[in-house]
Amino acid sequence: MTENTTHFGFKRVAAEEKAGLVRGVFDSVAEHYDIMNDLMSMGIHRIWKRIAVQLSNVRKGEQVLDLAGGTGDLTTLFEQRVGDEGNVVLADINAQMLRTGRNRLIDRGLVGNVQYTQVNAECLPFADGSFDCVCIAFGLRNVTDKDAALRSMYRVLKPGGRAIVLEFSHPIDPVTEKVYDFYSFNLLPKIGKWVAKDEDSYRYLAESIRMHPKQGELKAMMETAGFERCEYFNMTQGIVAVHRGYKL
């Protein structure tokens, strides 16, 4: 990989173009994002998210940053944990996704301890040591400079804080891998075409998962960014993994 190029799915693009291309994908799918998540995962994504929140060990009164928070599923779960004394910031680089999430949570009555901000994960606009937990769910693979994002997450954590990365990953057995590949490249784009009227965006999502670092690689990247006691937890045979690291 040269310094001025990166991957967008299986394609090579100029690094400065990737954010705009990813924005186009999520502008397109925002309206159907939640129903597509349910269809793509047969509803299992809700279990994955609950497990990630449990592993965060977030408690009442804490400050949480939900990066790439999209339509607010994780923010809703975190808000229940931090209570009135705590605070959750729902952040996303994509304005349309953030707008969809904000409207959804306001409709649910979550207005007191939830804030919204449009940010780039690579250069978070928060002071050092602002949060007890930073979570990024199904978003790190879309970031152009993942190392910069991990360093930025580390910087805004308080001492004793923890980072949670919930992301599609790599199956740990060949049978699951073959079934998953068939589903991802043959069925997923068709579901996107039928439901969201966008086959190409869901083909990109499948490709972006394959280009994402494997479990051990991402663990090493977190350690390089400064995190300690890093570990990961495979779910659904490694199709999804939760990585956790601490700022000590």
Going by the annotation, the residues of the binding site for S-adenosyl-L-methionine are 71, 92, 120-121
Binding-site residues from annotation = 71, 92, 120-121
194 CB-side CA count, 13 A: 9
Phi-psi group of 147: left, alpha or beta (phi > 0 → left; psi -120 to 50 → alpha; rest → beta) = alpha
Distance CA 185, CA 111 (A): 40
Alpha helices for 94-212 (secondary structure H): 95-107, 146-156, 174-182, 188-191, 199-211
Distance of CA 4 to the CA centre of its chain: 24
DSSP 71: T
Distance CA 97, CA 28 (A): 10
DSSP three-state, residue 107: helix
Backbone angles phi, psi at 7, to 5 degrees: -100, 140
**How many helices (H) and strands (E) in the chain?**
10, 9
DSSP three-state, residue 223: helix
- Torsion sign across C-alpha atoms 22, 24, 29, 30: positive
Distance CA 87, CA 85 (A): 7
